[in-house]
Structure 1
Amino acid sequence: MTSRDHDLAGRGAAPLGAVGALVGAMVSIQYGATLAKGLFATCGPEGTTVLRLAVGAVLLGILMRAWRARPSQRCLPALIGYGASLAAMNLLFYMALDSIPLGAASALQFAGPLALATLSSRRWVDLAWIAAAGLGLVLLSPLRSAAPLDPRGVLLALGAGAAWAFYIVLGRRVGRELGVQATAIGMLVATALVLPLGFREAGPGLLEPSILASALAVGVFSSALPFSLEMVALTRLPARTYGTLTSMEPVIGALLGQALLGETLTPVQWTGILAIAVAVLGTARTAGSP
């Protein structure tokens, strides 16, 4: 194989690796959400968010050697905004999860990335996959079911979706300069912002050994692992591709909700899963270079 062949093979492997990283992040973060619900009774959504972010910040800070990062002055505003969007996305999602099912919260939260994917699209084929993903989300959302959802939970999930859109845009910006270290620094900023709310909700109970042991598992699956994988995807995939691929997340949430939380899916919701799967496969096959 010539050097040119090696170069072309490397170019082809990068998008596939980025897609795999994003899928792994979504499975991990949804599984972590099922674990986090067990902490709500003791710590509340706010305290659980603090534990999740703090554990992630410590683990990623060590693994990524975040103390070696030297963000430029031009990067600092985006880095702070990235941390703030990370804090809002996590806090609002957990607060929504306290009152509506995991599948519903995940589907509603996706409104932000889907809107971003639509606004950043320039090709008709991208709009086709986005439309398929949107149809799937409508069919999958429990808003169509007979059981009414808590309006407060719906608004919180939509707010988490808006924060997610900012997280995508700012994450790509800081990731270009800092790489995966941006995740650790952003998580540290997010922890500092949410810390007062967490201590107001749970107080010293956050430091109990049994709580910390559960928080370690939540932090690994909900923060350290998925956000480091997502940073790989954010720096290698176009925003429209990332936004459409993440339509798989409510599917994963619905399946894990059924398996681990006893939630059931209607035939309409399974149709939604099929529509989203088509959008995911279509996007993966037609995604262009970053």
Structure 2
Amino acid sequence: MQKNKIPLRPLLAVLGSILSVQIGATIAKELFPALGAVVTATVRIGLSALILLAVNRPGLKTLTRVQWKAVIPYGLCLGGMNLIYYLALSRIPLGIAVTLEFIGPLLLVVFSSKRLIEFLWVLLATAGIALMTPWNNTNIDLFGAGMALLAGAFWAGYIVLGRRVSAVIDGGQAVSIGMLFALIVALPFAFTNGIHLNFKSGMIIPAVGLALFCSAIPFSLEMYALKYMPTKTFSILMSMEPAVGALCGLIFLNEYLSLQEYAAVILVVIASTGATIGNRGNIGKITPDI
């Protein structure tokens, strides 16, 4: 495969994905009181699937057995990740949920790192996460924290499976088909939680915004990025999630940062930048790292 003529494109795709998800999370928080976490997640997945199918029009009949075997686990993992993360987000603050969830991708980096310098970026990202997590706060909902950690495990699986599926199928098709299987995972839980009773017509506009910002846009950008960069580079770049989440909280929710949180932002940005520069020469190669 030829190298991308502009290596910055996959990097910008990851950054755009991160920003999009955090904006969408603020929309989700507004829907939780009326719909609940499970129904909100299902609405997001369902509308995202419709949007992606309309835009990408994947050829389901032309998929090979190898492609089906790659895209089905990817989609199931996608559905589980969304449901579990929203359960966490409904019980704990956005910044804490994102921080705990990132432990999954961080462990992925640890297990795939081979050079000493890569462990330095991992240590810096870990320090940033530690600073952003109020370990001494006994008011944190334990169930919510546990769900965030479990969502992190699904996030790590999503990275690995997304990397594999992007090597055998076009990214737009992979996301579109994957969202269908994610919807299969979510629907039974949504009907159990009253999706047919609680969703009102006035919620359509914010629901579409949620689908675009939280699923359709970021997952498409991530599939593009995963095709052109190593999984460990992608994982460390995602360490910017807590920082971007904090900034979105400041902009959209008037949540101000403490000096400790600013220090955390600096650490994760340094880790992300260092990982990107160190792996810049690898961008454009599709060689599984794990």
Pick from 107, 114, 138 the counterpart of residue 130 of structure 2: 138
What stretches of structure 1 move > 6 A for 4+ residues in a row? none
Unpaired runs of 5+ residues, structure 1, are 1-6
The answer to whether residue 119 in structure 2 is matched with residue 127 in structure 1 is yes
The answer to whether residue 156 in structure 2 is matched with residue 165 in structure 1 is yes
Distance apart, 1:141 and its partner CA = 1.5
2:196 corresponds in structure 1 to 204
1:3 corresponds in structure 2 to none
Pick from 182, 187, 196 the counterpart of residue 195 of structure 1: 187
Q: Counterparts of 2:247 and 2:138 in 1: how far apart (Å)?
A: 19
The answer to whether residue 155 in structure 2 is matched with residue 155 in structure 1 is no
Unpaired runs of 5+ residues, structure 2, are 286-290
Q: Counterparts of 2:71 and 2:259 in 1: how far apart (Å)?
A: 43
Q: Which runs of structure 2 are paired with 1:30-109 in the superposition (5 Å)? A: 30-67=22-59, 70-109=62-101
Aligned residues: 281
2:288 corresponds in structure 1 to none
Bigger Cα displacement from structure 2, 206-215 vs 169-178 = 206-215
Which amino acid in the other structure matches residue 111 of structure 1?
A: I
Distance apart, 1:58 and its partner CA = 0.9
Which amino acid in the other structure matches residue 134 of structure 1?
A: T
Give me the CA root mean square deviation: 1.8
Distance apart, 1:100 and its partner CA = 0.5
Task: Provide closer, same or farther for how the CA distance between residues 53 and 206 of structure 1 changes in structure 2, counting only shifts above 3 A.
Answer: farther
Aligned 8 A contact 2:80 2:185 in 1: no
Distance apart, 1:139 and its partner CA = 0.8
Pick from 234, 250, 263 the counterpart of residue 226 of structure 2: 234
Percent of aligned pairs sharing the same letter: 37
Instruction: Find the residue that maps to 1:75 and give its secondary structure.
Output: helix
Distance apart, 1:53 and its partner CA = 0.6
The answer to whether residue 6 in structure 2 is matched with residue 13 in structure 1 is yes
Which amino acid in the other structure matches residue 230 of structure 2?
A: P
Aligned 8 A contact 1:135 1:272 in 2: yes
1:281 corresponds in structure 2 to 273
Task: Provide closer, same or farther for how the CA distance between residues 52 and 203 of structure 1 changes in structure 2, counting only shifts above 3 A.
Answer: closer
Distance apart, 1:267 and its partner CA = 1.5
Alignment TM-score, normalising by the size of structure 2: 0.92
Aligned 8 A contact 2:35 2:199 in 1: no
Alignment TM-score, normalising by the size of structure 1: 0.92
Instruction: Find the residue that maps to 1:13 and give its secondary structure.
Output: coil
Distance apart, 1:70 and its partner CA = 3.0
Distance apart, 1:11 and its partner CA = 4.2
